[in-house]
Structure 1
Amino acid sequence: MSTEFRKLLLEVSEALGTEELSALKFFSLDYVAKGTLEAIRDPKALFEVLQERCMIGAGNLFFLKELLYRIHRIDLLTAHLGSSREEMERELQVPGRAQVSDYRQLLYGIAEDLTSENVQKVKFLLQGPLQKSKLQENASMLQVFLEMEINEIIKEDNLTTLKDILQGFRADLKKKIDAYEGKKREKYSREEVRYPVSVSVYPEEQGAKQYGEIYKMENNPHGYCLIINNHIFKNRRHNREGTLQDGEAVKRVFKWLQFETVEYMDLEGKKIYDTVEEYSKKDHRNMDCFVCFIFSHGEKDKIKGVDDECVNIEALVSRFTGTNCPSLAGKPKVFIIQACQGSEHHPSVAVESDSSGHLEVDARPPTSIPDRADILIGMATVEDYFCYRSRSTGSVYIQSLCEKMELLCPQRMDLASILTEVNREVATKDIEGFKQMPKITSTLLKLLIFEVPQ
């Protein structure tokens, strides 16, 4: 880490007070475990943890900027991060850009608006549902919210109890919650309209075949096949030997299947996001499909760039929702992710096989996938387990997938079924004494069958 970046964090840390630290910790709950946050007593320690989670870094300052903006420290935002209130307001208008959830923004706003007398009333009314020891006289409203979450009195999709409490003495804040819930319902309704269920309940009556409808594959090319392949890292110890073979195998298969195939090598974290966003903004009206392969190191829910800066997988996938990419609405979007090493419970280290030394470990890929229609995610392994990559022949998962596609696409087998075959093959392999279990997450509404050119 650069000295300049550490100096920046130190200066920001020293300018923050105890209540502001509590607010930053509250906003970070979606990324850092509660137990870890409870042990933090100063901003420097929080920033260290956020760096470990790849939420902030020398080239990745947006979350830090957003945190300062949310707690109204525009002075620090301007003096140390070269931003402004207006710039942040513009940035946060971009769909998927905000890292702090609407839910946490809502609760923080309510906590700010409550007077000391209001807070005491809330505590009094909660003495039944919550243990009295949890509601000390000096407990802040954010601490009360945290205890309510722990006891499942409030959730992101259930704020009924909080509304009932506020109705009696702060009806204006109850209306804020109503507006939040209305906005969520509108969002879900809008997505439902964009993605009507297309598999017929009575296929005989609508002319569909018994096994379900098939996505149209009529254009040439059928779509883009974007490959992001990180091989050479700035820290050379993290280089991913064998990944070039994976890239070549994918290009061979998808060029054969008439996709416009393009490979980007060795991208930094921000460039990964920018590249995916660039493809989401393309005109896909004359395309049938979009496919994206990502090969890199990673941590839970994140992919690492070659500069070790991370990008959230959900932020990438969400660029292709119907709202963000309307020309792909109702069309299949496929993401195949081979991510390696790093989680809260396992140190981020490269592991070599004891037997021959030619296998490397690719650890848990991201597991938090946006629940959107017409999206299929293929992941190299289930949560909490390793996957493997040969330095000479490529990754077990990607090579198996390419082989199965070459074999089964001519037989008109759909992609979800092909991936199931890949799961079976990889799961039954004995990889120098190790095992691997891939995972499929799908919200496809039809069968995705790739047309093989005659």
Structure 2
Amino acid sequence: MMADRDTNYRTVLADVADELTDDDAKALAFELVIPRGERGKIINGRTLIDVMEKNEMVSEDKVDQLLKLLRKRRYNVAATKLEGYKQTQNTITKQGAVSGLDTCDSPSGQEQSSSDRYQMNQIPRGHCLILTYDEFTSESKLRKRAGNEKDKVKLNELFGEVLNFEVQDEYNLNYEGTNEVISKMAAKEDHKDCFICCVCSHGDGQAFFTTDGGKIEFQYLMDKFKPQNCEGLRGKPKIFFFVTCLGERFQEFHKDGIGSDGAGLMGKLSGLWAKEADFCICLSTVPGYANARDPSKGTIYVQNVYECFKANYKSTGLIDMLNDVRERTNEKLKQNPVQLKSYDSPICHISPTISTLLRKVYFSS
């Protein structure tokens, strides 16, 4: 069975490669996030597939990125061939699960009760809107967010290729453009089982900034997806990741634990509570504090979300994975302390979660 599957995979990729002209393959090469030396090896369809396999961008169970590129460039014949393969694999997977060939996703090996979980059966799972900003006008007086591109790539891969969401990636929009995208997304009727929104930008604790310095409040964004404004998401999980600085200073480790100022964590979060059920707000840092970001790797929060979700989504629920992200982040900082000038103690990084979810969220069917 596995040999037949591999043969089918190889046959389909060969057919896809043969549908691409040399110029097509070279054009697709510039869409890939790969080392420059690797891009130079792509001279035709076959070498394109070879490079993508070498960089783990395509495999028997991972064809979404290639399919997305083919659709984007409107290479429809090649895309149709790959889509047929993907549908066949989905059918095989479902049949295997029904016949008992695929054990269930729960950690204990026992079937999870569907009554305590949100439905997550459709492919794609739903829409994922990614809003990233790293270049700002001089009038805004906001600095460039170095490392943002790394976050952008990881979020696209995680939610698009791993978790099977339909990703809409919007980059460096101004205030008007951001509002238009948000409104159009909320107005969609095909919201499937779940909605995710990721925002990566500068922030002030209650809002994020667009490229022209426009300020959009977190609550305003979330309000757009309340049931009264977005009927298609009624009773479905709505998950927001805010990867923004919410202050100027970093959090610090203290002898008696992780430090906070006198306002208290709950006081700082009180203004961000969702006023409806079925929301989950994931903050990269505590309001009042800065967001740790490495220009060469991106934010420490997105790095850990990517690693943790990718490794555990089949067996672990959303809230437990977010708890693991929080623990993993600080464990790394404990093992490799970062001591900044003007700070009394090494920095730490708490990433709080605010949830009004009524059921568990699993990204596996």
Q: Under a length normalisation based on structure 1, what TM-score does the superposition of the two structures give?
A: 0.47
Preserved CA contact (<8 Å) 1:300 1:367 = no
Q: Which of 216, 226, 250 is the equivalent residue of 2:119?
A: 216
Q: Which of 293, 298, 311 is the equivalent residue of 1:407?
A: 311
Preserved CA contact (<8 Å) 2:142 2:213 = no
Structure 2 matches for 1:27-426, cutoff 5 A? 213-235=116-138, 238-256=143-161, 257-284=163-190, 287-340=192-245, 342=247, 367-410=271-314, 412-426=315-329
Secondary structure at the counterpart of residue 218 of structure 1:
coil
- Following superposition, which runs of at least 4 residues in structure 1 exceed 4 angstroms of deviation? 208-212, 364-367
Displacement of 1:253 in angstroms is: 1.2
Change in 2 beyond 3 A, CA 1:385/1:429 = farther
Distance (whole Å) between structure 1 residues aligned to residue 290 and residue 329 of structure 2 = 12
Secondary structure at the counterpart of residue 278 of structure 1:
helix
Change in 2 beyond 3 A, CA 1:449/1:307 = same
1:427 and 2:330 aligned: yes
- Describe the superposition over 1:165-224 as per-residue Cα deviations: whole angstroms up to 9, x where unpaired: xxxxxxxxxxxxxxxxxxxxxxxxxxxxxxxxxxxxxxxxxxx96796111112111111
Tell which structure's C-alpha radius of gyration is larger. 1
Unaligned runs of 5+ in 2: 1-110, 251-267, 340-346
Residue 197 of structure 1 is matched in structure 2 by none
Change in 2 beyond 3 A, CA 1:248/1:367 = farther
Distance (whole Å) between structure 1 residues aligned to residue 239 and residue 118 of structure 2 = 13
Secondary structure at the counterpart of residue 357 of structure 2:
coil
Change in 2 beyond 3 A, CA 1:275/1:244 = same
Preserved CA contact (<8 Å) 1:313 1:369 = no
Preserved CA contact (<8 Å) 2:128 2:197 = yes
Identity across the alignment (%): 26
Distance (whole Å) between structure 2 residues aligned to residue 306 and residue 321 of structure 1 = 26
Q: How many pairs are equivalent?
A: 225
Change in 2 beyond 3 A, CA 1:390/1:365 = farther
Preserved CA contact (<8 Å) 2:202 2:208 = yes
- Describe the superposition over 1:236-268 as per-residue Cα deviations: whole angstroms up to 9, x where unpaired: 861111011111111111122211112100012
Residue 436 of structure 1 is matched in structure 2 by 349
Displacement of 1:300 in angstroms is: 2.2
Distance (whole Å) between structure 2 residues aligned to residue 269 and residue 367 of structure 1 = 22
Distance (whole Å) between structure 1 residues aligned to residue 286 and residue 146 of structure 2 = 23
Distance (whole Å) between structure 2 residues aligned to residue 210 and residue 222 of structure 1 = 19
Displacement of 1:270 in angstroms is: 3.1
Change in 2 beyond 3 A, CA 1:249/1:382 = same
- Describe the superposition over 1:287-323 as per-residue Cα deviations: whole angstroms up to 9, x where unpaired: 1111000000011211111111101111100111110
